[in-house]
Structure 1
Amino acid sequence: MKKRYILASILALSLNACADEKAENDGVLKTEQNQEQGALERVKQYPAPIESIIDQGVEIIDTFEAPAGMIGYAGMMRGQPLAIYVTSDKEHAIVGTLIDKDGVNLTVDVMDSLVEGPRMERAWKELEESAWVADGSDDAPVIIYTFTDTNCPYCHKFREAAEPWIKAGKVQLRHILVAILRKSSMSKGATILGSDDPEAMMQQHNNAFSQGGVTVDPAAVEKGQVRVQLNTNMMQRLGFGATPTSLYKDQNGKIKSVQGMPQGDMLEQMMGSPKPE
């Protein structure tokens, strides 16, 4: 009886193992079939020129109506929006801006609606959750996120230009410290973010900018360097390549970005009001 029981148990285990192996193989086969089906559906979904563009790294976000029998595709490549127009025969694609006979840009509004608007909303949320240094009153009605490299002279000039609004309590700059210009950008930025009082340290850096900025603190660097690196990675992932790059909300709540030092009327547009006296 005992031997029979053992043999029965072994047989049951063997059958279960076979069943498990079959289920696993069926699962792998089903996954492969689904992947193949998905690839076939994608081939059917997009014309050949779009398939070629996808293979080059473009992500297709949506389609939109276009004139002259064309089909418009809104895409993203390396963090930047891309408009693609496929001809009526579906054999050719045109990448770029479409202008009508009156010189009206037919691309900007649709790309803003389908790509740039949602992209900037996602970017704003990511900036809110990043490691930034407040510069100005927490009650300020205007918030501006600005990617700042501690060695960037234009970042410093932008801070000087924003001073009247900051001092008047109208604007708060939120410095997102990155390291892209020099090797010391990492150690200086990490010194600020890793300090016990980043706001005070940022002010010290601004005051001493012409003398080289903040004095590097190795202990603070150890704490803050990961934050600076994450900020740098985020900046690059969002498709921004220059400092300062600043994001703000206009009077309609629409998120805009400005790369470099804002010029002319752009400064007042960003600050949301005329320069305080």
Structure 2
Amino acid sequence: MTNPMFRRLLQSSALASTLLAASVQAESYPEPIQALEEQGVSVVESFEAPGGMTGYVGEIQGRSLAFYLTPDGDHVIVGTLLDKDGQNLSKASIDELVTGPKFAEAWPELEESNWVRDGAEDADTIVYTFTDPNCPYCHRFREQAKPWIEAGKVQLRHIMVGILKEDSLTKAATILGSDNPEEALKEHQSRYRQGGIDVDRQKVSNAHLDVKANNQLMQKLGLQATPSTIYKTDDGKVQMVQGLPNPQAIERMFGARP
């Protein structure tokens, strides 16, 4: 049996080592970067940036951001870096170092979440999207995806959430709690402009906890808009788009228009 005093010494030593390691890591960053940390920014990774700058990616309150240390080491620029062609270099760095790994790690949680299939079971492309029944952009996204879904190329998996309006949760739970959620989702989509599916209290009772679990997953992943859509590229990298995707993003998700 370990002596209690010796065990406390070991614990104190381990704590001191942890604090020292954190202190050394913090001190290894230049002062402007340390100043950002003091404001709540968590530094994830650094990289070589154009113009002799050192780039960093980090997170604050669930939001990813990029910032750049000037060559003199005395100043930091927070924001978007564009190249001469207008390409967003900051987003590329965030996607590679933060967003991609974060959502790749979360992919199994998406698979195990409470979703409704929309499209062929054997579709080559599977895309997860957080859908609020009252979200006009979710409805427009589904309309954009229609050609790929009808061609059997894409399966959307709607992770039903209830966040936008008072009856969002009950509508989402009515869909999830139905005997056939796929048909209930189709009914809601076809009647969207008339208010969508009618709330059924028994079905809400069946599935309201599932919708709340989806809400919690969305919050955990730091997503703040619907639709929020997660997909895999041809080379297996995981990407995420918040809000209504533009036509270029649609083709990156789904492939060439059928």
Structure 2 residues without counterparts, runs of 5 or longer: none
Partner of 1:116: 99
1:218 lines up with 2:201 in the alignment: yes
Determine the C-alpha separation between the residues in 2 that align with 1:99 and 1:153: 31
Q: Which amino acid aligns with 1:151?
A: N
The 3 A distance-change label for structure 1 pair 154 and 40 is closer
Determine the C-alpha separation between the residues in 2 that align with 1:42 and 1:269: 38
Larger Rg over CA atoms: 1
CA-based RMSD: 2.8
Secondary structure in 2 matching 1:63: strand
Partner of 1:235: 218
- Runs (4+) of structure 1 moved beyond 6 Å? 101-104
Determine the C-alpha separation between the residues in 2 that align with 1:42 and 1:267: 41
Partner of 1:76: 59
TM norm structure 1:
0.79
Q: Residue 95 of structure 2 contacts residue 239 of structure 2 at CA under 8 Å; is this kept in 1?
A: no
- Counting matched residue pairs gives 258
Q: Which amino acid aligns with 1:135?
A: D
Partner of 1:164: 147
Determine the C-alpha separation between the residues in 1 that align with 2:245 and 2:84: 32
* Offset, 1:119: 2.7
Determine the C-alpha separation between the residues in 2 that align with 1:60 and 1:48: 13
* Offset, 1:47: 1.9
The 3 A distance-change label for structure 1 pair 123 and 98 is same
* Offset, 1:274: 1.8
Structure 1 residues without counterparts, runs of 5 or longer: 1-15
Q: Which amino acid aligns with 2:148?
A: W
Q: Which amino acid aligns with 1:85?
A: Y
Secondary structure in 1 matching 2:66: strand
Q: Residue 142 of structure 1 contacts residue 171 of structure 1 at CA under 8 Å; is this kept in 2?
A: yes
Between the aligned residues of both structures, percent identity stands at 47
Q: Which amino acid aligns with 1:152?
A: C
1:103-122 per-position Cα deviation (integer Å, ceiling 9, x unaligned)? 66554544433223323423
* Offset, 1:160: 3.0
Q: Which amino acid aligns with 1:52?
A: A
* Offset, 1:266: 4.4
Partner of 2:184: 201
Partner of 2:256: 273
